[in-house]
Amino acid sequence: MRRRTFLAGTIGVTALGGTRPATARTAAARTTALVTSLSQLQSAINSATAGTTITLANGSYAVGSSGITVSGRNGTTGAPITIQAESRGGVTLTGSKSFVFASSSNVTISGFVFRQTTTLDLPVGCNRIRLTRNEFALGSAAGHSVVVRGDDVKIDRNLFRDKPTVGCYLVIDGPSGETVAQRTYILRNYFRDHSFGGSNGGEPIRLGVSSRALADADATVEYNLFERVNGDPETISVKSSGSTIRYNTIRNSLGGIVLRHGNRNRVESNYILAGSNGIRVYGNDHLVVNNYVDSVGSAGIVLGSGTERDHTPGESEEDRRGNDAPDRVTIALNTVRNSNGAIAGESQRTVPPLACQVADNLLVGTSGQLTDLPFQQGISFAGNILWGSAANGTIPASGFTRVDPKLTVGPDDVYRLGSGSAAINAAAVNHTSQVADDLDGHARTTPYDVGADEFSTAQPVRRPLTAADVGPNAT
């Protein structure tokens, strides 16, 4: 078969690995190679510099126990080193290891299908690594699929699928001790079909771990789709501080979004549809806003209780694993519909929430009770609207009204405010410092409407994600 030679810029490498003469070089010059074996690939990586693109010919390659090493290779932000499959999904890597990174930066891995039996690790000292448009189906042999320890890593437009055993699809970790990887960006990935049947340890995303709870990760997890991920009650498990979880869709899954450890996280404009768990919160100073939870088997939002008031630096490992009671958490402008309760608390732990606010949420149900909050003294309520044949529950009378929101269902099966809804302009609290738009991406105008939707006749900017919006072929 005749293969194309991939050349770009004024200096390059031919398909067979030989150099061609350089002409007038510019700052934008690139080197590009098509290689047809793992030995050629390794050789090309070993000599790669900023701007190099290395393309591995389509096929299946059995990688040896040493892996494909990327050591001491450093691109730049504007000219990364790119290692890619000839066509997207056209290269399958088997064996025990794939890429083994050390002391490298600004390297992009694109278009591969990973079938390894061990984790792909992005270690400390490997910063600004990008994994894009790959497929990870490591099966039962591997523990975690990908672990991130370096800073400024981007994980985008990948498919993680079909894991039947314990282990996460994606773990954001960090150096040893109490620090965590910084500024990870997790965008438009498709996480599906995690079938581990245990009670713990099969999260699609674990952002931190208990020992790193107080460290700011400053991660962004947005526009990801999760379907049939049943390996853990926590689909996005946050065990660190200072991150943003927004615009994601969780559908038909065991897990929800859980702020298990850490402080100052933001959970905004996510869809959780027809699963078992919604949003659960521990820790301090979180904002839970604009989320839409529909038809889950538990309460849509759970404001937890604690074994202790706060986690503190230097506490014992055992104490750090405990549940930090929520302090100063705001739950506002969310819509919860037809779940097993809308907003609930916990009574199995003795430390109650403190100075938390539940405001301007739209809670709709047909059975049971909409609220069940055993510790009321640490919560203020304002402006919530309750509707449906479900009982009010424990919410104080001063914290809600029972009026018809006139919900109408759209072609995406999302229930939004209809014309003449009592929720329009009904917010009791000014949220302008917290959020400027609604679940759909429409601008909010004061006074805000109650719930996740700001009434509008315009088409939504954001909708629940489908498989076409995420993964290797996403735009």
Phi and psi angles of residue 469, each rounded to the nearest 5 degrees, phi first: -90, -10
Q: Is 138 helix (H, G, I), strand (E, B) or coil?
A: coil
Q: Return the beta strands (E) in 215-329 as ranges.
A: 220-222, 225-229, 234-239, 244-246, 249-251, 256-261, 266-268, 271-273, 279-281, 287-289, 292-294, 301-303
Cα 403 to Cα 422: distance, rounded to the nearest angstrom: 6
pLDDT bin (cut points 50, 70, 90) of residue 432 is very high
Q: 17 with 44: CB under 8 angstroms? A: yes
Distances (CA, A) of 83 to 184, 256, 441: 20, 35, 36
Higher pLDDT among residues 316 and 220, named by residue: 220
Cα 388 to Cα 370: distance, rounded to the nearest angstrom: 9
Structural domain includes residue 431: yes
Percent of the chain at pLDDT > 90 equals 85
Higher pLDDT among residues 406 and 21, named by residue: 406
Structural domain includes residue 83: no
Q: Is the pLDDT of residue 5 over 80?
A: no
Q: Is the pLDDT of residue 89 over 60?
A: yes
Q: Is the peptide bond before 447 cis (omega within 30 degrees of 0)?
A: yes
What would the mean pLDDT of 54-68 be, rounded to a whole number?
97
pLDDT bin (cut points 50, 70, 90) of residue 188 is very high
What's the pLDDT tens digit per position in 361-406? 999 999 999 999 999 999 999 999 999 999 999 999 999 999 999 9
Structural domain includes residue 107: no
What would the mean pLDDT of 40-52 be, rounded to a whole number?
98
Q: Is the pLDDT of residue 41 over 50?
A: yes
β-pairing, 384-387 vs 400-402, is: parallel
| CATH number reported for the structural domain that contains residue 234 in this entry | 2.160.20.10
pLDDT bin (cut points 50, 70, 90) of residue 21 is very low
Structural domain includes residue 282: yes
What would the mean pLDDT of 421-449 be, rounded to a whole number?
98
pLDDT for the residue 30: 66
Provide the number of structural domains found in the chain.
1
Structural domain includes residue 474: no
What would the mean pLDDT of 72-91 be, rounded to a whole number?
98
Q: What is the DSSP string of 372-391?
A: E-S--TTEEEESEEEESSSE
pLDDT bin (cut points 50, 70, 90) of residue 18 is very low
Q: What 8-state DSSP symbol labels residue 326?
A: P
Integer distance in angstroms from the first to the last C-alpha of the chain? 31
In the numeric block, which tokens belong to residue 355? Answer: 């100075």
Structural domain includes residue 136: no
CA-nearest of 232, 75, 223, 230 to 155 is 223
pLDDT for the residue 48: 97
Is the Cα torsion angle 194, 70, 183, 444 positive or negative in sign?
A: negative
Is the Cα torsion angle 299, 304, 349, 396 positive or negative in sign?
A: negative
pLDDT for the residue 29: 47
What would the mean pLDDT of 47-60 be, rounded to a whole number?
98
- Across the chain, mean pLDDT equals 92
pTM: 0.93
Cα 243 to Cα 255: distance, rounded to the nearest angstrom: 19
Q: 75 with 100: CB under 8 angstroms? A: no
In the numeric block, which tokens belong to residue 310? Answer: 């706060």
pLDDT bin (cut points 50, 70, 90) of residue 288 is very high
What would the mean pLDDT of 84-104 be, rounded to a whole number?
97
Structural domain includes residue 105: no
* Other Cβ atoms closer than 10 A to 27: 7
pLDDT for the residue 199: 82
Q: What 8-state DSSP symbol labels residue 13?
A: B
CA-nearest of 87, 62, 89 to 4 is 87
CA-nearest of 169, 65, 34, 60 to 115 is 60
Is the Cα torsion angle 425, 427, 428, 430 positive or negative in sign?
A: negative
Gyration radius (Cα) of the chain, Å = 24
Q: Is the pLDDT of residue 22 over 60?
A: no
Q: Is 399 helix (H, G, I), strand (E, B) or coil?
A: helix
Q: Is the pLDDT of residue 198 over 90?
A: no
**By residue range, what is the domain housing residue 333?**
170-469
Structural domain includes residue 37: no
Torsion from C-alpha of 173, 176, 178, 182, nearest 10 degrees? -40
Q: Is the pLDDT of residue 318 over 70?
A: yes
Q: Is the pLDDT of residue 15 over 70?
A: no
Angle (nearest 5°) at CA 233 between 230 and 237: 110
Q: Is 330 helix (H, G, I), strand (E, B) or coil?
A: strand
pLDDT for the residue 315: 80
pLDDT for the residue 2: 33
